[in-house]
Structure 1
């Protein structure tokens, strides 16, 4: 038993490390090639950064769907979104108060609320239709992926070019292509190890896949968002920190969950509804924080509050799991 746990932990840790590095290489290569191809900077910033940091969730979930580890699939999406707001913005806000552009409050945050409501409807088959089992079906997955394409159009059509600070990235076509290939390989390989290690660890410890997906894997695959937002906060680039989280949360629900459901329909565990309520509350707190204290700012004390709430939520969920 001890050897199995050790091997699972090693696979999990190395898998997550490879995921993070793979995402970093992919973002660097893709952003460099995009700029050389003349794609507008604001499109790169609000799509590529958020999408790139969501790639670990996407690759982990597709691998989990292929391996029919469905509880990891749904738990990873919801857990990552909760961690993005409470953990990542909490840490970023503590590092430096985050000034929030009005566009994020008026457009991105409402879209986050809408994505939660859509997800709640999709996992409520028992409640809405009287079905024997709640399921995110392939047709619903197609709807989510289509919604993702609509979100990309929304960004291109409505966001102003000057909303993201432009950053020069000098990279050649050959180097950029190599970074993309290596990044994708790292994401695929890392995702396989992460899911395998997470499932085996859950079995060895007698912990449900839902808890492993909701916290361990969700936080691990959110490391790119954490690193990006923390560095952005330290450098005083609040728009990147906030936009990264808001965009990643929408990507997670639309593209990540949608693609996973297209691979295999996703059965819905009962605890999902409690976690969706926590996600809704976290998003509501993000909205309210713009109107408390300094307007359109997440202050250090609000960042600390976010982090405290996440810690209590994580400890409570773990306690409920081990006492059942």
Structure 2
């Protein structure tokens, strides 16, 4: 029954995020908010809604192993599996000038979280504190402001018109989406705890694997669809944006609510995430060409790295 509830929770999370994005985006455009701002805020936050819901709920309940494990696991899944699968389908062409900013912010965010965690270790607290959470949230705000201001000058789209659709319908759709995210998050957290207890495994392992993969499904689907449509930049932007929001917004919100305890094993996982992030950044920027193609072989290598890491995590538990 716990597995069934877990699956139902994932479905509610993913569909709830989908409804929330559709409804809130339509409302925003209806009242005259430019599409670029909608995309950079509501849509970006919507794809990270499953992780946010699970992390906040687990943080409120004191299950911080799931919180940090979910963020680390989701980012590793995005960087290795989502990017790897995308490259396996069609070799992924990355334009340096278009991705330099997002790659830099993603690397900075990862290093910042590692530094804050390391400081917590050195001070003997072994936690990501509320102050750390506030710092991460401030960085989130700064990042979003930069995105909006930089994109305004490049925005050539006209505000979309919504015809024959009542505003009340979109408001109801958004409310249903929020309800789905909230209920789904509760189901995922509670069922994950039951599964962990039944098999005698830690909530950290559940967060790093099952919960992380489940909450990253929207990013996987979005990136694959974008690749099939030839939109390589959208696929990569989705991965980088999700990873950045996971580290800054989600981890920041969760730790601001309740300081997150960091075990030695999770610190190792965080170090693995840093190495993977730097490796992918080097893979793209180490050559002098303006474009870097991630081949099918490199995509396969990324997937294999994730499999090896997952086996290690399971054996470690």
TM-score normalized with structure 1 length: 0.89
Look up the match of 2:292.
296
The DSSP-based 3-state class of the residue aligned with 1:122 is helix
Look up the match of 2:13.
19
Question: Is this contact kept in 1: 2:54–2:188, CA < 8 A?
Answer: yes
**Structure 2 unaligned regions, length at least 5:** none
Equivalent residue for 1:43, pick from 37, 58, 64: 37
Write the mapping of 1:69-80 to structure 2, written as runs, cut at 5 A: 69-80=63-74
Q: How big is the shift at 1:140?
A: 1.4
Structure 1 Cα separation of the partners of residues 170 and 277 of structure 2: 36
Equivalent residue for 1:211, pick from 205, 213, 216: 205
1:236-267 Cα deviation digits (max 9, x unpaired): 11122111111111111111111111221111
Q: How big is the shift at 1:103?
A: 4.2
Look up the match of 2:60.
66
Larger deviation, residues 159-168 vs 254-263: 159-168
Question: Is this contact kept in 2: 1:22–1:183, CA < 8 A?
Answer: yes
Look up the match of 1:147.
139
Look up the match of 1:185.
179
RMSD of equivalent CA atoms: 2.3
**Structure 1 unaligned regions, length at least 5:** 1-6
Q: How big is the shift at 1:9?
A: 1.2
Change (3 A) 1:90 1:161: farther
Change (3 A) 1:294 1:265: same
Q: Is residue 2:133 matched to residue 1:137?
A: no
Write the mapping of 1:1-324 to structure 2, written as runs, cut at 5 A: 7-125=1-119, 127-129=121-123, 131=124, 133-159=125-151, 162=154, 170=162, 172-291=166-285, 295-321=291-317
Question: Is this contact kept in 2: 1:50–1:243, CA < 8 A?
Answer: no
Change (3 A) 1:44 1:243: farther
Structure 2 Cα separation of the partners of residues 144 and 95 of structure 1: 35
Structure 2 Cα separation of the partners of residues 197 and 246 of structure 1: 29
Question: Is this contact kept in 1: 2:97–2:290, CA < 8 A?
Answer: no
Q: How big is the shift at 1:94?
A: 1.4
Question: Is this contact kept in 1: 2:40–2:144, CA < 8 A?
Answer: no
TM-score normalized with structure 2 length: 0.91
Structure 2 Cα separation of the partners of residues 169 and 12 of structure 1: 38
Structure 2 Cα separation of the partners of residues 153 and 259 of structure 1: 18
The DSSP-based 3-state class of the residue aligned with 1:271 is helix
The DSSP-based 3-state class of the residue aligned with 1:273 is helix
Structure 2 Cα separation of the partners of residues 161 and 236 of structure 1: 25
Moved beyond 6 Å, runs of 4+: 163-169
Change (3 A) 1:173 1:47: same
1:75-123 Cα deviation digits (max 9, x unpaired): 0011111111111111112122223243453211111111111111221
Larger deviation, residues 175-184 vs 191-200: 175-184
Look up the match of 1:3.
none
Structure 1 Cα separation of the partners of residues 155 and 90 of structure 2: 19
The DSSP-based 3-state class of the residue aligned with 1:236 is coil
Q: How big is the shift at 1:48?
A: 3.1
